[in-house]
Structure 1
């Protein structure tokens, strides 16, 4: 039931990402290995030789602590135990702590990661592969994560928030739970979702714990390992790189250099590094560290440190130093025995700025895998599209292009002056032959007349199209309404909808369906029909 369309043809992905998945030569210096199943063997060998195996003990210790209050599946516990072994590697995705998972692509990230781990195990049985969800618990942009969309309504958590979002108290989410009670309806699937929200957010003290519970409930039985790296035991394993950023600014120098080369190639730069790419973090505080006149300052505070003082703080309280978007990938790859990072187009774009930083830091750069992207539509919508004699791929066009296509398709009059243009071309070919036998001024007059005649035919064709659009307005409105439904706000569905909107109709079959249909090595946009209404009947 799944169909695919190239990422480039969707019109929703940048040239940088489409060039990357098409393996354009100019981009090869910006990554380590292209994501093929064969290339993972070399990635395994390299990571094994460069990874500090002593990090495993701290990693497992922290995971055991974080899972102590969760109902841990046998598969997840097995994966945590396997992380003690040198033959075990991870594949990782990361995501913000969006309320109730946020946009639908949260599911696609994790499904891609789970499926990649399975395929790697099948191809390399002598090794173990653990799927990891790295929670972005240290982010502090609350306005990016405090809502989700459900049937054209924004369900928002109103709260005065400061500091890392993972530390935020879940107080105030009772109001959101009441709104969900009203909006989700009374079906069996809706009741499950309402209960899931209440347990996740009303029975846990902070947003990190709530998100970990929720992701574990959705994917725990598949063996997903969820990590909150905001922990002193883990940060202490990264102290060397923290000090380097404070003193030598390697991340700034290398990332700026690589971003400059990307820019020279005509690509948009996703992130711009700062001289220091660290925040200072306390309860209710996450502010940038800056250096001025040989002293270190924390913005928006009166805190200042000498070089010796701040280096001592790194030793004593590494948990207070929070990597920004430039340093976080390095932290992840130092800490984990990781082979691949699975993310969306925006994420992969900033990872492509980081290869020289990893090289300078002697850390293996992971294989970058674009997560699966999906358009979900019901069997009812599929029937409507067929009835309109259209195709699901047509809906990726702009509304103007779609309306023109449907008008040409449904018009009883042929809106195509190709034949007339051919006749015109032949007539002018004869005139050009005549003009070649006389002076240049006559040749110019023929060319001017040809252009005028062609423009006239183009104008008449547009007038005819406009007239037929008006006549077929009712029919066209049906396809445009479907497009608006599947591409809310003229954006990809996966960036707008929350999983709950699909789950209410499709239920617990959703995640198994995605796991079964999606292939992490298929670098195409997937259109997936869900048998919602046929099943109900």
Structure 2
């Protein structure tokens, strides 16, 4: 495995400054993963505050039950046992579910969680368990219902499942039919290029959706397939059994809601004072809690002493909401700004693995953690990669360009290459013709304008039509040149579609399923060998 740092891809951002250990930005978080003393300090704080979190035995029961639903791996069960008995700590990362595993960055996040847990275990000399927190409570179905692959035609294709009609419930509460799953698998089958690995891949997907699971369960089963043997423990934030453990913390968030709101506003101000935009601005009067009901999942605001949604369709007295926290906590859920607080209550979080956008809004949360007498866990940047496919490596060598060249200006370089193939110098010759024609035609325009003023516009229109015909002939001639070099142009497109599909990083577009179809299950093992970097960063990987 060859790894090369990909510099210059990330624009200046709060997350990038944090990754580089900028003291001012690190002050928003209170620690940095590059400092071993911060790991020791966090572990010590967790030990001292053990009684303030969810009961480990009850948590372990919830986790075991969920692993049974998605497919148990011995390594994951041993990790849960350790979390219960050995006072193990946890490294946590999470993501919204994704159809057929979602975007490649999810694989990289799970990988980073696993590697960070191993790193911390060696550093601290005590068990550290990797935990992946699936945000099944989120109700934005369109974020979860698709995956992108490279199709037979060589283009990026999106495979998706439409949201069922009705209220916008959490993804984990959105039922899907057997027909929907069958159609999605068949669409995937038709779009994926044939390979020796395709039949087994599709058969496994069909097995996992045979009982018409929710997107969250199907997603968890895939992640368990891919990383369960590495001890990755999976949980769903919307698991009713987990919610029952969280009821007391929901009560705390309700009772101290005004304090939390003020602290979030203070966090916004701190980020702005450093010159950075606020990633997830806290709204005045927002309770930063959702409630689930017949109308779907709705965000609550404080209005005249009550908690209600914007439309006034759902409304609770404070005591009613507290009773809900005590008796039906599964009807409540967090938003992005209170989920990190809940995560810290549910698990002994030594460190949390975050992507750039997540790091940006976690930078706002320091005052909220402090207001609730919680220390923020260590923030570990998710590792990012661009995979150089073997065929693409050969093309880069053939055309003497680098991956960064293709990413930054692939279309420009493609156009320049095609221009160099033009032995007839069409551009220069047609430009000369246009210039010479304009010179020859100018005196005619002057003359006809003198003959009759109304002829000037007619002459200009006539000139423009001739220019259009010259341009048309040039376009046809250039198309003919392009057709002569169609294979070469397709190769330029191949590099671009692989490294920078749809003008975005590879990891944000293609799903792991795209590469597993091309290169088989051993391709996933490649990433488990990637050297770990506690500060993340983007690296190019080739075999």
Query: TM bucket by the smaller chain?
Result: 0.7 to 0.9
Q: Name which of 15, 18, 21 aligns with 1:20.
A: 18
How much does 1:404 deviate? 9.9
Query: Does the aligned pair in 2 maintain the 1:108–1:371 contact within 8 Å?
Result: yes
Any unmatched runs of 5+ in structure 2? Answer: 151-155, 422-480
In 2, distance between residues paired with 1:408 and 1:264? Answer: 49
How much does 1:71 deviate? 3.3
In 1, distance between residues paired with 2:418 and 2:405? Answer: 13
**In the alignment, does 2:493 pair up with 1:489?**
no
In 1, distance between residues paired with 2:349 and 2:416? Answer: 47
Q: Could you tell me which residue of structure 2 aligns to residue 201 of structure 1?
A: 209
Query: Does the aligned pair in 2 maintain the 1:103–1:498 contact within 8 Å?
Result: yes
The DSSP-based 3-state class of the residue aligned with 1:227 is: strand
Q: Name which of 185, 189, 211 aligns with 2:219.
A: 211
**In the alignment, does 2:121 pair up with 1:121?**
yes
How much does 1:380 deviate? 1.9
CA deviation map 1:86-122 (0-9, x unaligned): 5300101101111112111111000111111122223
How much does 1:302 deviate? 3.2
**In the alignment, does 2:163 pair up with 1:159?**
yes
Q: Name which of 512, 515, 529 aligns with 1:502.
A: 515
CA deviation map 1:284-339 (0-9, x unaligned): 72111222111222455633222222222221111111100111111111110111
CA deviation map 1:1-28 (0-9, x unaligned): 4333355x114x4421221111112212
Distance 1:409-1:347 versus aligned 2 partners, 3 A rule: farther
How much does 1:232 deviate? 4.5
In 2, distance between residues paired with 1:198 and 1:84? Answer: 34
Alignment of structure 1 residues 11-410 onto 2, 5 Å: 11=10, 13-36=11-34, 38=36, 39-51=38-50, 52=52, 55-85=55-85, 87-125=87-125, 127-151=126-150, 152-160=156-164, 162-171=168-177, 172-247=180-255, 248-274=257-283, 275-282=286-293, 285-300=296-311, 302-399=313-410
Distance 1:201-1:501 versus aligned 2 partners, 3 A rule: same
The DSSP-based 3-state class of the residue aligned with 1:266 is: coil
How much does 1:478 deviate? 5.5
Q: CA RMSD in A?
A: 2.9
CA deviation map 1:153-187 (0-9, x unaligned): 11111232520001122312221112122223443
In 2, distance between residues paired with 1:207 and 1:388? Answer: 42
In 2, distance between residues paired with 1:233 and 1:476? Answer: 55
Distance 1:477-1:204 versus aligned 2 partners, 3 A rule: closer
Distance 1:261-1:43 versus aligned 2 partners, 3 A rule: same
Q: How many residues align?
A: 470
Query: Does the aligned pair in 1 maintain the 2:117–2:128 contact within 8 Å?
Result: yes
Any unmatched runs of 5+ in structure 1? Answer: 411-471, 531-537
Query: Does the aligned pair in 1 maintain the 2:248–2:325 contact within 8 Å?
Result: no
Distance 1:301-1:174 versus aligned 2 partners, 3 A rule: farther
Query: Does the aligned pair in 1 maintain the 2:54–2:246 contact within 8 Å?
Result: no
Query: Does the aligned pair in 2 maintain the 1:170–1:202 contact within 8 Å?
Result: no
In 2, distance between residues paired with 1:34 and 1:189? Answer: 42
Which stretch has the larger CA shift, 240-249 or 157-166?
Answer: 240-249
Distance 1:476-1:225 versus aligned 2 partners, 3 A rule: same
In 2, distance between residues paired with 1:65 and 1:80? Answer: 11
In 2, distance between residues paired with 1:372 and 1:408? Answer: 38
Which stretch has the larger CA shift, 498-507 or 231-240?
Answer: 231-240
In 2, distance between residues paired with 1:407 and 1:5? Answer: 30
In 2, distance between residues paired with 1:246 and 1:405? Answer: 61
The DSSP-based 3-state class of the residue aligned with 1:249 is: helix
